[in-house]
Amino acid sequence: MLPIGPDESPATPICSAKGCRAAAVWVLAWNNPKLHTPERRKTWLACEEHREHLSQFLGVRGFLKDVVKFEDWQDPEVP
Protein backbone atom coordinates (compact mmCIF):
# COMPACT_ATOMS: atom_id res chain seq x y z
CA MET A 1 0.00 0.00 0.00
CA LEU A 2 1.22 3.49 -0.84
CA PRO A 3 1.75 5.95 2.00
CA ILE A 4 -0.84 8.70 2.26
CA GLY A 5 0.35 12.26 2.82
CA PRO A 6 -1.40 14.78 5.09
CA ASP A 7 -3.29 16.42 2.19
CA GLU A 8 -4.30 13.18 0.47
CA SER A 9 -7.04 10.66 0.99
CA PRO A 10 -6.94 7.08 -0.29
CA ALA A 11 -9.40 8.14 -3.02
CA THR A 12 -7.20 10.99 -4.30
CA PRO A 13 -5.80 9.93 -7.68
CA ILE A 14 -2.08 10.61 -7.98
CA CYS A 15 0.32 10.99 -10.88
CA SER A 16 1.75 7.79 -12.38
CA ALA A 17 5.26 9.27 -12.78
CA LYS A 18 7.80 7.42 -10.68
CA GLY A 19 8.09 8.99 -7.23
CA CYS A 20 5.50 11.70 -7.90
CA ARG A 21 2.80 12.20 -5.26
CA ALA A 22 1.01 15.14 -6.95
CA ALA A 23 -2.69 15.03 -7.69
CA ALA A 24 -3.60 13.72 -11.13
CA VAL A 25 -5.00 16.28 -13.56
CA TRP A 26 -4.77 14.28 -16.80
CA VAL A 27 -5.64 10.79 -18.01
CA LEU A 28 -3.35 9.33 -20.68
CA ALA A 29 -5.16 6.54 -22.48
CA TRP A 30 -2.92 4.06 -24.28
CA ASN A 31 -2.56 0.52 -25.49
CA ASN A 32 0.22 -1.72 -26.69
CA PRO A 33 -1.01 -3.22 -29.98
CA LYS A 34 1.21 -6.27 -29.46
CA LEU A 35 -0.60 -7.09 -26.21
CA HIS A 36 -4.03 -5.45 -26.31
CA THR A 37 -7.01 -5.49 -28.66
CA PRO A 38 -7.43 -2.17 -30.56
CA GLU A 39 -10.37 -1.02 -28.42
CA ARG A 40 -8.63 -1.73 -25.08
CA ARG A 41 -7.43 1.33 -23.18
CA LYS A 42 -4.95 1.26 -20.33
CA THR A 43 -4.53 4.50 -18.38
CA TRP A 44 -1.82 6.45 -16.69
CA LEU A 45 -2.57 9.50 -14.59
CA ALA A 46 -0.47 12.64 -14.83
CA CYS A 47 -0.02 15.89 -12.93
CA GLU A 48 0.62 19.09 -14.89
CA GLU A 49 4.40 18.71 -14.47
CA HIS A 50 4.60 15.15 -15.86
CA ARG A 51 1.88 15.18 -18.57
CA GLU A 52 4.28 16.02 -21.39
CA HIS A 53 6.99 13.58 -20.28
CA LEU A 54 4.59 10.65 -19.90
CA SER A 55 2.86 11.55 -23.18
CA GLN A 56 6.20 11.55 -25.01
CA PHE A 57 7.20 8.23 -23.45
CA LEU A 58 4.01 6.58 -24.72
CA GLY A 59 3.97 8.53 -27.99
CA VAL A 60 7.41 7.49 -29.25
CA ARG A 61 6.35 3.87 -28.81
CA GLY A 62 3.09 4.44 -30.69
CA PHE A 63 1.03 3.58 -27.61
CA LEU A 64 -0.62 6.93 -26.78
CA LYS A 65 -4.25 7.12 -27.91
CA ASP A 66 -5.72 10.08 -26.02
CA VAL A 67 -5.01 12.70 -23.36
CA VAL A 68 -8.05 13.94 -21.43
CA LYS A 69 -8.57 16.13 -18.37
CA PHE A 70 -9.21 13.86 -15.39
CA GLU A 71 -12.65 15.30 -14.68
CA ASP A 72 -13.70 14.70 -18.32
CA TRP A 73 -12.47 11.08 -18.53
CA GLN A 74 -15.05 8.42 -19.26
CA ASP A 75 -13.74 4.85 -19.13
CA PRO A 76 -14.99 3.14 -22.31
CA GLU A 77 -14.91 -0.25 -20.53
CA VAL A 78 -17.39 0.85 -17.83
CA PRO A 79 -21.04 0.88 -18.96
Taking the domains of the chain in order of start, what are their residue ranges?
A: 26-72
Q: What is d(CA 45, CA 53) in angstroms, rounded to the nearest whole number?
A: 12
- pLDDT tens figures, 37-50: 999 999 999 999 99
| Terminal Cα distance for the chain, rounded | 28
Q: Is the pTM of this model over 0.85?
A: no
Least confident among 18-27, 32-41, 53-62 = 32-41
Average pLDDT over residues 25-39: 94
Half-sphere exposure of 30 (CA within 13 A, CB side): 20
